[in-house]
Amino acid sequence: SAQRLQRNPADLQQLTLHYLPDARCASEYGEFYGPGTLCAGTLAADGSIEAGKDSCQGDSGGPLTREEDGGKRSLVGVVSGGKGCGAGKPAVYTRIAYYADWITTAKAAARKGEVARVP
């Protein structure tokens, strides 16, 4: 959410974030950050993460998209966690590309009424 709200908004919220280098995210989150994750935040002019602009409780499972050429949006992440809401720390997302093969396998299994094991 663009600001810390006291109650859930009636309208869908969105904001623009910047992907952050894996090294920066790994130093912030340690063992919690790995190849199946990515992090993003709104960068301030000094390179720090701008406080007050972040995903928050209730956003888990929501999309992180990237705008492609021509305005098409692609799903690249799913809201996973972070350190507080709008606390000036990057938010953590599940990296969709890391799980792409499993997603394809799980979809095929579901069509047959089966369940695919989670990696």
Instruction: List the domains of the chain with CATH numbers.
Output: 18-111 (2.40.10.10)
Ranges in the chain, pLDDT < 70: 1-6
**pLDDT at position 2:** 47
**pLDDT at position 103:** 93
**pLDDT at position 102:** 93
Strand partners, 75: 65
Residue 85 in tokens = 């809401």
For the chain, how are helix, strand and coil distributed in percent, rounded to 5?
Answer: 25, 25, 50
43: amino acid identity, one letter: L
CA quadruple 30, 46, 52, 84: dihedral, nearest 10: 10
**pLDDT at position 24:** 92
